[in-house]
Amino acid sequence: MDSYDLVVIGGGPGGYVAAIRAAQLGMKTACVERWQNASGKGVLGGTCLNVGCIPSKALLDTSHHFEFLRQHAKEHGIDADARIDVARMQARKQKVVTTLTQGIAALFKKNKVTWLAGNGSLASSDTVCVTSADGKQTTVAARYILVATGSVPATIPPAPVDQKFIVDSTGALDFDAVPTTLGVIGAGVIGLELGSVWRRLGAEVVILEALPDFLATADRQIAKEAHKILAKQGLDIRLGAKVTATRVEGEMVVVDYELSGSAQSQCFDRVVVAVGRKPCTTGLGLEQVGIATDPRGFVVVDEHCHTGVGNVFAIGDCVRGPMLAHKASEEGVSVVERIAGQKPHLDFRLVPWIIYTWPEIAWVGDSEQAATAAGRRVRCGSFPFMASGRARAMGDTEGLVKIVADADDDSVLGVHVLGPNASELIAEAVAVMEFGGSAEDIARTVHGHPTLAEAVHEAALAVDGRAIHF
């Protein structure tokens, strides 16, 4: 029987990053991954690279360029006659995915991580059984086991996915034509991003969201402004709209939903079910080695991701916490560094959230409402991109930066960005908060001119009532 210091089950951003870091730390490491692409070839990268972060961003970028050419190029003095070739857009997306997944296979080779292609399950707390696609079974011994099996799209009984008319996020990344009308169930991150892609390409998009509030966990001011901007773009977001039934009639999907107590119905060419994700933890042999899962199927772990059984750990989407690629990766790194005797620390409060609509929405830390509810006295400063020279030059003036600081010691409690490149701007905020910085620290930091980051600087000045340009 082959034996390893560490066997990782799952090669997504949680598992593959942990495997590479473990190998760097001198551990003999294997990673079990079962994913196969459309041609039946085994691939690494998990949800994130194959059907998640990367393909969605590829389509968001293409559709963003398309919308620019159609709606904004004119004001830049560019006359363009833009048409979308969906097949070429999808081929480009696939090329991006293939290049990156092959890159991980190359990184495994470089770092001497053994990729065991197949389905992994726990035979005991120190052995893993790998079943390859042809049914062959091998068992390997492991001093440590890391479960990083991720998640799959959640479903709801009223909208069974057939991947033709009613699709999940994977199906919505793969449409071969722009639907004339698209219904999206769920106005979470995935629903908003995929709804934006197809709206920009010409679909009439209606998003049905059961909750009464838009982006309930975001800062209220940011959520309200984002809702207004996305609605102006043409995303028809209906809040308090709970889908109760769907049926395919001919080539259309009829969706029944309840809105403020009244029954409504609407027909769409296609419907995307984007109601969240559920952990992928069945068939792993967890019960037989005594590892607990919670009622929703998440592996139960302590603050160091230990399952409480032997040397078995679990990370990423299959455990508690935000279902985000960077959270999975950092958790994986901290587990293997701890195994190697280091003392890593991961602060969940400082995991940034990003929604890649345009303008983008990003935040870290507490909203004004959450900080106040937690009993903090806060001072907020905000700065609109309308007043930023760089944003004006770009023609991207919607949105704002908002900083929530502690009124007593000025420490930054949260930073919220709705605006162009918010996904990149939030990194400064995370770094400042990681160092326990204050709004004054940002205010006294030199920011290049003209940059979008100056809006972060000005928002920090605004906390003290001394913004210069607004």
Question: Judged by CB under 6 A, which stretch of 81-89, 144-152, 186-194, 404-412 contacts ligand AMP?
Answer: 186-194
Question: Judged by CB under 6 A, which stretch of 28-36, 63-71, 274-282, 305-313 contacts ligand AMP?
Answer: 274-282
The dihedrals phi and psi of 388, each to the nearest 5 degrees, come to -95, 130
- Out of 447, 449, 457, 469, pick the active-site residue: 449
SS3 content of the chain, % helix, strand, coil (to 5): 35, 30, 35
Hey, which residues between 327 and 366 contact ligand FAD (CB under 6 A)?
A: 328, 356
Residue 195 as a binder of ligand FAD (CB under 6 A): the answer is: no
Q: Hey, which residues does 9 pair with through a beta bridge?
A: 32, 147
User: 145 and 313 in contact (C-beta within 8 Å)?
Assistant: yes
The dihedrals phi and psi of 412, each to the nearest 5 degrees, come to -75, 125
CA distance 334 to 315: 10
Beta carbon nearer to ligand FAD, 315 or 439 = 315
Residue 46 as a binder of ligand FAD (CB under 6 A): the answer is: yes
Question: Which position among 276, 285, 321, 450 is part of the footprint of ligand AMP (CB under 6 A)?
Answer: 276
Beta carbon nearer to ligand FAD, 5 or 33 = 33
Question: Which position among 45, 188, 381, 419 is part of the footprint of ligand AMP (CB under 6 A)?
Answer: 188
Beta carbon nearer to ligand AMP, 59 or 380 = 59
Question: Which position among 119, 181, 233, 411 is part of the footprint of ligand FAD (CB under 6 A)?
Answer: 119
CA distance 68 to 49: 26
Least distance from ligand AMP to the Cβ atom of residue 54, Å: 18
CA distance 316 to 322: 8
User: 108 and 20 in contact (C-beta within 8 Å)?
Assistant: yes
Question: Which position among 23, 182, 190, 314 is part of the footprint of ligand FAD (CB under 6 A)?
Answer: 190
Residue 280 as a binder of ligand FAD (CB under 6 A): the answer is: yes
Burial of 326 (0-12, 13-18, 19+ CB in 10 A): middle
Question: Which position among 8, 60, 89, 148 is part of the footprint of ligand FAD (CB under 6 A)?
Answer: 148
Number of residues that bind ligand FAD (CB under 6 A): 37
Question: Judged by CB under 6 A, which stretch of 112-120, 183-191, 225-233, 296-304 contacts ligand AMP?
Answer: 183-191
Indicate which of ligand FAD, ligand AMP, none lies near residue 14 (CB less than 5 to 8 Å, by partner kind): ligand FAD
Structure tokens at 371: 């900080």
Question: Judged by CB under 6 A, which stretch of 184-192, 396-404, 422-430, 440-448 contacts ligand AMP?
Answer: 184-192
Least distance from ligand FAD to the Cβ atom of residue 470, Å: 30
**3-state SS string for 109-150:** HHHCCEEEECEEEEEECCEEEEECCCCCEEEEEEEEEEECCC
CA distance 398 to 1: 60
Indicate which of ligand AMP, ligand FAD, none lies near residue 410 (CB less than 5 to 8 Å, by partner kind): none
Beta strands in 332-376 (DSSP E): 353-355, 360-365
Question: Which position among 4, 7, 8, 13 is part of the footprint of ligand FAD (CB under 6 A)?
Answer: 13
Beta strands in 280-411 (DSSP E): 312-314, 353-355, 360-365, 378-384, 400-406
User: 166 and 159 in contact (C-beta within 8 Å)?
Assistant: yes
The residue among 69, 253, 20, 273 whose CA lies nearest residue 171 is: 273
* 449 is a catalytic site residue: yes
Residue 208 as a binder of ligand AMP (CB under 6 A): the answer is: yes
Structure tokens at 412: 């930054």
Beta carbon nearer to ligand AMP, 193 or 330 = 193
Least distance from ligand AMP to the Cβ atom of residue 411, Å: 29
- Site for ligand FAD, rule CB under 6 A: 9-15, 32-35, 46-48, 51-53, 56, 119-121, 148-151, 169, 190, 280, 284, 316-317, 323-326, 328, 356
**Residues binding ligand AMP (CB under 6 A):** 156, 185-190, 208-211, 242-243, 274-276
Q: Which residues carry out catalysis?
A: 449
